[in-house]
Amino acid sequence: MRRLPAVTLATILAVTISLLAACGSGSKSGTASTTAGTTAGSTAASTASSTADSAPASTSADKPTVKIPATLPTKLVITDLIDGTGTAAKVGDTVEVNYIGVRSADGTEFDNSYDRGQTFPVTLGQNSVIQGWEQGLIGIKQGGRRQLDIPADLAYGDQPQGDVIKAGDALSFVIDAVSITPGIDVPTANVADKPKVDISPSVGATKTSFTDLVVGTGEEAVAGDTAYLQIIAYRGDTGAEIQSTWEAGTAAKIALDDSTVTGLVTGVTGMKVGGRREIIVPPAEAFGAEGSDTMGLPAGADLILVVDLVLLSQSTG
């Protein structure tokens, strides 16, 4: 599956197996650089948790056409083509969608989920997709079909994506809401509370290790849970910060399963809510020897994470 994201730390760390298969990679250690919105055709990153396996399969026969706008959009234009039923999607909900995306200028298609036969989950408010989707999917109902005409500043701006999306491109999508799953209330975060941690460089780690900086007192994370995390990422070779989730205002939703970078799952498992850990991840349990250009992690560098476990949605299995 390809993803449609604004490339954030959470989406990079949650690289799904299906995404990597779509990108032609056989290992979770590949970078998140191929997508449906993140590349909408070529760059990708996943949301932290995918429910696509349980969602109804789509078919090419269901694939809609996109009517390109008469003039290129300078603001987000939302057009409901089919009204759905039930409760309107809001921030925190997960909307399972099918979609097709084209360049607004000429209708050139860059990605669609119908031909893959697999839907794509978007958790609103996680900033795991482009802002045109974050804003444009608010209010959609199950069974609804919506066209989004998205200006470049709410898509990829001046950053080309793949072979089709050029710098400054406006994008148009038709999106079907297959299902809507209500979210849970995740505590908001203030960037002023972002911890300041003295990071010692790490070079040549061979397995994931961790140190508890704060021991939590809540529920304990186990494999299969969905964890809501605040994460700061650092280069192992220099100890310099490269990315953070704190600025988003809410914790990132991360599945503690095979869809997520191995070292993060290993490091978070066993934490308790309210805890903070420093996790050192070797390349083999992160993005491989090539590192991640998107994340700012150079080839061969260890990855250091400072993780706060904010909330758990525990597995019933």
Query: H/E element holding 107?
Result: none
Instruction: Report pLDDT for 189.
Output: 85
Number of domains in the chain: 2
Instruction: Report pLDDT for 188.
Output: 84
Check residues 89 and 259 and name the one with the higher pLDDT: 89
Residue 3 falls inside a structural domain: no
pTM reported for the whole predicted model: 0.60
**Residue 317: pLDDT above 70?**
no
Give per-residue pLDDT as tens, 132-162: 999 999 999 999 999 999 999 999 999 899 8
Domain check: are 163 and 224 in the same one? no
312, 227 Cβ separation under 8 angstroms: yes
Instruction: Report pLDDT for 248.
Output: 81
The beta strands (E) that lie in the chain are given as: 77-82, 94-103, 109-112, 120-123, 145-150, 171-181, 209-214, 226-235, 241-244, 252-255, 276-281, 303-313
Identify the domain boundary among 162, 181, 200: 181
Domain check: are 197 and 177 in the same one? no
Q: How many other β-carbons are positioned within 10 Å of the β-carbon of residue 41?
A: 23
* Amino acid (1-letter code) at residue 263: G
pLDDT bracket for residue 68 (50, 70, 90): very high
The set of long-range contacts for 63-67, using a CB threshold of 8 Å and a minimum separation of 24, is: 63/100, 63/112, 63/114, 63/115, 64/100, 64/145, 64/174, 64/176, 65/100, 65/174, 66/100, 66/101, 66/102, 66/107, 66/109, 66/147, 66/172, 66/173, 66/174, 67/147, 67/172
- What CATH number does the domain containing 268 carry? 3.10.50.40
| Residue-by-residue DSSP string for 16-53 | -HHHHHHHT--STTS-S---SSTTSSS-----S---GG
Report the phi/psi class of residue 59: left, alpha or beta, with left for phi > 0 and alpha for psi in -120 to 50: beta
69, 105 Cβ separation under 8 angstroms: no
Instruction: Report pLDDT for 11.
Output: 65
Domain check: are 82 and 17 in the same one? yes
Residue 75 falls inside a structural domain: yes
**Residue 284: pLDDT above 70?**
yes
Nearest to 29 by CA among 293, 288, 255: 288
Interatomic CA distance for residues 111 and 174, integer angstroms: 11
Domain check: are 28 and 92 in the same one? yes
- State which of 120-134, 264-278, 287-301 shows the largest mean pLDDT: 264-278
Domain check: are 160 and 252 in the same one? no
Beta bridge partners, 221, equal none
CA atoms within 13 A on the CB side of 15: 30
Domain check: are 134 and 22 in the same one? yes
Domain check: are 199 and 168 in the same one? no
pLDDT bracket for residue 230 (50, 70, 90): very high
Residue 162 falls inside a structural domain: yes
**Residue 42: pLDDT above 70?**
no
Query: pLDDT > 90: what percent of the chain?
Result: 67
Measured CA to CA in angstroms, residue 200 lies from 34, 197, 203 at distances of 32, 9, 10
Rounded average pLDDT over 264-276? 97
Domain check: are 121 and 201 in the same one? no
Domain check: are 257 and 155 in the same one? no
Domain check: are 195 and 164 in the same one? no
Average per-residue pLDDT in the chain? 83
Beta strands 120-123; 145-150: pairing state: unpaired
**Residue 55: pLDDT above 80?**
no
Domain check: are 149 and 197 in the same one? no
Residue 18 falls inside a structural domain: yes
Q: Which residue has the tokens 């203030």?
A: 190
Instruction: Report pLDDT for 238.
Output: 97
Check residues 21 and 163 and name the one with the higher pLDDT: 163
Residue 186 falls inside a structural domain: no
Look at residue 265 and give its three-state secondary structure: helix
Residue 151 falls inside a structural domain: yes
Instruction: Report pLDDT for 10.
Output: 67
Domain check: are 177 and 195 in the same one? no
Identify the domain boundary among 181, 210, 235: 181
Instruction: Report pLDDT for 215.
Output: 98
Angle at 50 between CA 44 and CA 52, to 5 degrees: 100
100, 60 Cβ separation under 8 angstroms: no
Check residues 214 and 255 and name the one with the higher pLDDT: 214
Lowest mean pLDDT among 36-45, 60-69, 120-129: 36-45
Lowest mean pLDDT among 4-13, 22-31, 175-184, 289-298: 22-31
Check residue 54 and report its DSSP letter: G
Measured CA to CA in angstroms, residue 112 lies from 38, 124, 174, 310 at distances of 13, 20, 9, 34
Residue 1 falls inside a structural domain: no
Instruction: Report pLDDT for 17.
Output: 29
Range of the domain at 258: 191-313
**Residue 310: pLDDT above 70?**
yes
Identify the domain boundary among 125, 147, 181: 181
CA atoms within 13 A on the CB side of 30: 22
Residue 273 falls inside a structural domain: yes
- State which of 17-21, 104-108, 120-124, 293-297 shows the largest mean pLDDT: 104-108
